[in-house]
Structure 1
């Protein structure tokens, strides 16, 4: 009875959130949701968009050419994500909310412009610039929530925030199920312009975190990039870069190739083209729900067993589920149902990204936090772009989707050996 009373009193003692913290969180969450929606729209409309645009660009729209062109455009998109590092130093210098709104403006406008593409070159340029905006949103939203929310709430805040990205996956799937099926890929890209409204609300209604204001007022002008690569932070910076690289490889291998895999399996099962597309949307929705559950389960687990043990558990789950889905179920004679079942497991452990929203801010002081977050995520995206290009080449060479994607499970095995070199920050407060 006493333990129940103790838990109740602890819950009652939690610091209440003020209006600015609530509005700021929902602004960051909405931006991250629409970020996820925008980034996943391309995966869902890849085949119809390239089927139309390749002939206009002088190429035949064969399955091989669609696959290769899709991989190249994904690589360009990820390079844009990598260049999003520029937002971190800007946020450390000018503030979190202004620069966060700038990232949302960028990815929203250029996702909308993708609807006007008349050839693959234009589509590539628009997706590249949209990637620069999309890549900065996570670092700034994660930094904002970590600094704006009270210490006793920010860990769960990180988990809540990360659900937004996968809610965006679900939203993209719902839009594709309705708008995409009936109005085509250009209409899907047009929906990506909606986040401009969120950016305006953030600019008008959200205040800068007090931690950033104090650090800005009391510190000499820092050189954050030099500092995070200097002796004090060098090891944790590079270890975080490696771990995030592994997580990003898994995201783009498992999640981005999932719609294509489901469409192939549904077609093999005798479904019509329209029904196969709808099945891919439903599978993406299931993947998103599972990932949201994984994000919500992660912060309490990280508080109980530590950051490093939690990431090891999620990485091991990713390795097993990628092999189970793409390496095994994809090749079964009637593999659609088993593949979708494995997608739920894959989605749950894909929630490992929530740990970085919680863990990275704990490793760096306020004056360099946004730069460190942006640098570590950007590094992984550059490598992810290269891996994505190699995956496309492997799919083209091997004439199959499953095995190349299944091999990315090896990255998570490597990650299990890297995790011990990271700092354990369980029980520590956010450094000022």
Structure 2
């Protein structure tokens, strides 16, 4: 039997010294994780049911359900959803003012109610309105869940907690794919939106069972003189302006890159599966399988990220993930999509794309380290929201390119260019490796 090495002993000692989590921290994490999982499920349901929903609703709205109209209407509705996501920055100041848990529950309740209402839509305009308000709720959940876990978990565990938390969103993708494979295939797109009502239960549990973070409560007591100052104004003062702008740009890059690939992935897989000889039913199921594989890849990427960020730093880790995202998007949509038998290589590249899409876990770890407690939720919510506004504009552009070029692959592949901007901006961000969460 081999003797343990020095490294083995160091790892064992580190594990032994980990601060144990109390019941409130465990309950709070699972509440935030479940909300983030159902958030991911709700946001991806739209991508999976896009074609059947618009095929039914466009004629009722006075438009022919042609592939071009479905693509254009889908882009417009998704852009409205992203604008709703962008407006979700309103939750940040509310959470800094009234606490993390109450506002977190409110975000979950909002996106659940409006996702359920989408099942009652009779026109594309009604569906667009419901998706807009669902976006407002969905957009706020990540900022508040990330802020909560960063503040509630002990310092020696919060970094890995960020990785664990981020897996929830992509577990939601997997859950949406599984539901589409079963409930969606059997009962249609309206049933998929009705399932989105389930998070209401989670929001009630979060409100009733999760304790407010000690850091927020201490900040409330320690800084009564700044209680009524605008946290949104503070993140743009001389101390925080640069890091706020840099973080917003980096998140914009990540959002444009991942969402361009992830949102259009089911449509691309359906096209490739149809080209390979599958009927409509089997092609839809193949899209669900591909989405599940994409989700598994992203979950692995989220779990691999925190140890890498601790070893080589936040900036280098994000650079590695951005390069991986750019390469996988360009190859999947610019190369595999156009192969005579491209379905298998396309799906294989989706797994790689998913892994590097785990870059979002870095923001759950990194953003809270850059801002003090009294403005943390505001900064997190603002930086995540800006990218969604820009993403909405880009999505209009992608829709127009798809319509004019009459192809899906090249317009999506071109979004890989945005990661060059990200790589240029990364050196401007503060390196916080080894630093404790500021109070």
- Per the normalisation by structure 2, the TM-score is 0.98
Structure 1 residue 186 corresponds to structure 2 residue 190? yes
Shift of 1:12: 0.8
Give the Cα separation in 1 of the matches to 2:384 and 2:7: 41
1:322 is the counterpart of 2:326: no
1:223-280 superposed Cα distances (whole Å, 9 cap, x missing partner)? 2111101110000000000000000001210100000000000000110000000000
Query: 1-side partners of 2:79 and 2:8: how far apart?
Result: 52
Q: 2:382 maps to what in 1? A: 375
Aligned equivalent of 1:358: 365
SS at match of 2:335: helix
Q: Which residue of 2 aligns with 1:34?
A: 38
Indicate the residue corresponding to 1:340 in structure 2: 347
Please give the residue correspondences for 1:381-392 in structure 2 after superposition, counting only pairs within 5 Å: 381-392=388-399
Are positions 1:76 and 2:98 aligned together?
no
**Are the aligned partners of 1:252 and 1:388 in contact in 2 as well (CA < 8 Å)?**
no
CA distance in 1 between counterparts of 2:9 and 2:435 reads 25
- Determine the C-alpha separation between the residues in 2 that align with 1:10 and 1:191: 42
Whole-angstrom distance in 2 between the partners of 1:143 and 1:166: 19
1:52-91 correspondence runs (5 A): 52-91=56-95
CA distance in 2, matches of 1:117, 1:7: 55
- Between the aligned partners of 1:18 and 1:225, the Cα distance in structure 2 is 33
* CA deviation map 1:54-88 (0-9, x unaligned): 00001110000000000000000000000000000
Corresponding residue for 2:48? Answer: 44
- Structure 1 portions without partners, runs of 5+: none
1:285 aligns with 2:292: yes
Partner of residue 148, structure 1: 152
What's 1:331 paired with? Answer: 338
What's the Cα RMSD here? 0.6
The residue number in structure 1 matching 2:28 is 24
1:169 to 2:173 alignment: yes
Correspondence list, 1:218-367, <5 A = 218-219=222-223, 220=225, 221=227, 222-367=229-374
- Give me the whole-angstrom Cα distance separating, in 1, the residues matched to 2:396 and 2:32: 31
Distance in 2 between residues matched to 1:3 and 1:188, nearest whole Å: 49
Aligned counterpart in structure 2 of residue 113 of structure 1, from 110, 117, 126: 117
Matches within 5 A, 1:114-133: 114-133=118-137
TM-score (norm 1): 0.99
Q: What does residue 423 of structure 2 align with?
A: 416
Residue in 1 that maps onto 2:143 = 139
Distance in 1, matches of 2:10 and 2:125, equals 61
Contact 1:298 1:352 in 2 (8 A): yes
Residues in 1 aligned to 2:11 and 2:70: alpha-carbon distance in whole angstroms: 56
Offset of residue 2 of structure 1? 3.6
